[in-house]
Amino acid sequence: MHSLKPVLIFLLPVLLSAVAQAQTPATPATDTAVIATVLDRKITASDRDRLSGIILGALLEKFATDNSIEPAPEELDAFTRKTEEKRQQHEVEMQADRQKLQQELKDPSLADAERQLKQKRLQSIERILESSLKMETQSKAMEEQMRPMQRQMAHQFVRAWKINKALYKKYGGRIIFQQAGVEPVDAYRDFLREQEKLGAFRILDRQYEAGFWRYFTNDAMHTFYPGDEGEKFINIPWWLMDEPVQ
């Protein structure tokens, strides 16, 4: 189930915000009212839709700092290399699909409805390939400027995976599938409960408490990996799956 959308902690707040927006109380506090605190930061009602993301994000940053979690250069190289390989592989597959559709559309016996579907699919593929070619051309023309951005993206992906892996190692629990990638949701929950007991964060306005915890405690919201499969994906991210054993 792994894909080119690995779990990222910097994306998790987006998911959590979407959940919170659907559960915002009917009579929210005024925007300047302090509804929670995390470390030395006060969170006002103006950020109520991002409450879970702000708190988890701040605490994960501290966890990474406290545990000296940073990607090694060779880890960034592996991510960059695999990302480029996947991009090229996808482009080859799209070109093959285009050729196949072009050939199929030459069949005079093709039913009108099926012909229309294949033509739409072909047009979609051609647009994607055209956009891909433009982006590749622009990237080559701006190679020096793009390289730091690519390295920064690799840093974000790899660091996020290493944080998740460290959390899973410490807290264990189940792993969930998201379009953004795998998440150690039970580890997030236990980590947050521990941090709350330590006073690292507090939900001051109780009307937001249930919404804050729902993402981490409501099993119905998630698709869980079987134990062994989840552990494999959290310990070996998609970009290292095919790497030779050192």
Find the range with the poorest average confidence among 15-19, 89-93, 156-160: 15-19
For residues 23 and 27, give the distance between their C-alpha atoms in angstroms, rounded to a whole number: 11
How confident is the model over 46-76, as pLDDT tens digits? 999 999 999 999 999 999 999 999 999 999 9
* Predicted TM-score (pTM) of this structure: 0.71
Helix, strand, coil % in the chain, rounded to nearest 5: 65, 10, 25
DSSP state of 236: S
pLDDT of 75 reads 93
For residues 235 and 224, give the distance between their C-alpha atoms in angstroms, rounded to a whole number: 16
Query: Which is nearest to 170 in space by CA: 51, 63, 92?
Result: 63
